[in-house]
Copies of this chain bind each other. A is one copy, B any other.
């Protein structure tokens, strides 16, 4: 992704018009070089890539600005869960055609988020494809050397904590597809909008990064379903967990759909696209963590406890019976 000089092509012009304004970091060289620089510092660099594909991670008629925001935010969410502060990203954009009506709002949404999260565009590649749109982002963050928070490292007795609310995005997708949630909320556009917004525009918890770094023994983001992602965190730590299912934080619309029997808790904890943080906090750290989270403006909820054992985490209902799970998490294959 380089901006045009003599011999400028359509591709170059596209990049200059839409993406050069996003390359605000000195290390991006205004996209007139072949690569960018992240300057030497005493920090470790945390690197992550996640891609989103039309028809898989977003719908063809989703607004372009929300597609851009989702592409960046799914990566920012990973950085947040590792305790890292974003410092830039590379963009790969596979397009069927260069369509100004799509590119203008896409670049605007991407630029607004890049500015808001302090994560400037460093470079990229724009390619043509006859297939679905695809946006792949590689995002970079910094942590003080040796302080990245891992998926492993939880200890028995640690509290299991999640940010925000769980399951909303899957209900938003169900609404966009005209599923049961759409019918059940036919007379409640505000609830529909909230859930659809949660599907289209994740809310990465980057404000919580330092609190995670200061207090969490293990952390990851919830992107493929709480149950499956918790199973991964536990397996990485060689442990298990027990979760109080009624204590899982739900939005008002999700709680209402659950109470009406439109959706089960097992479905909500197995669905993807939450982009919340799941972490283990030692008991004696929990108050300090909760206080830091309040200061950061991020809701955190303890939902259970890490325990010894190798079994998959159990989700218990109000009667202490195990909640059956339809599937643990989303898999592409």
Contact = CB atoms under 8 A, between A and B. Distances in A.
A108 interface: no
B48 A37 contact: no
Given A32-B151, A35-B84, A39-B145, A131 B130 contact: yes
Given A32-B152, A125-B49, A125-B50, A312 B7 contact: yes
A190 B173 CA distance: 55
Nearest to A10: B333
Interface string A19-37: 0000000000100111111
B232 A122 contact: no
Interface string A137-149: 0101100010010
A318 interface: no
A110 to B, nearest CB: 15
The A interface, classified by DSSP as helix, strand, loop or mixed, is mixed
Contact of A128 (B29, B95, B221, B332): B332
A172 B85 CA distance: 45
B331 A9 contact: yes
Nearest to A50: B125
A96 B11 CA distance: 27
Nearest to A14: B333
Contact of A92 (B34, B44, B51, B126): B51
A78 interface: yes
A200 interface: no
Contact of A47 (B35, B48, B56, B136): B35
Contacts of A11: 331-333
Interface of A: 2, 4-7, 9-12, 14, 29, 32-53, 55-57, 78-79, 81-82, 84, 88, 90-92, 94-95, 97-98, 122-132, 134, 136, 138, 140-141, 145, 148, 150-152, 220-221, 227-228, 231-232, 234-236, 310-312, 328-333
A304 to B, nearest CB: 16
27 contacts: A2-B232, A5-B234, A9-B330, A10-B331, A10-B332, A11-B332, A29-B150, A33-B152, A33-B220, A34-B151, A35-B82, A35-B148, A37-B44, A37-B47, A37-B148, A38-B44, A40-B45, A45-B45, A47-B90, A50-B125, A52-B127, A56-B127, A90-B138, A98-B333, A129-B132, A130-B131, A130-B132
Copies in the complex: 2
Nearest to A2: B232
Contacts of A37: 44-47, 148
Contacts of A49: 90-92, 123-125, 136, 138
A235 B329 contact: no
A26 to B, nearest CB: 12
A329 B6 CA distance: 11
A236 B151 contact: no
A333 B128 contact: yes
A56 B228 CA distance: 37
Contact of A122 (B36, B47, B125, B330): B47
Contacts of A122: 47
Nearest to A35: B48
**A40, A42, A231: most-surrounded residue (chain B CB, <10 A):** A40
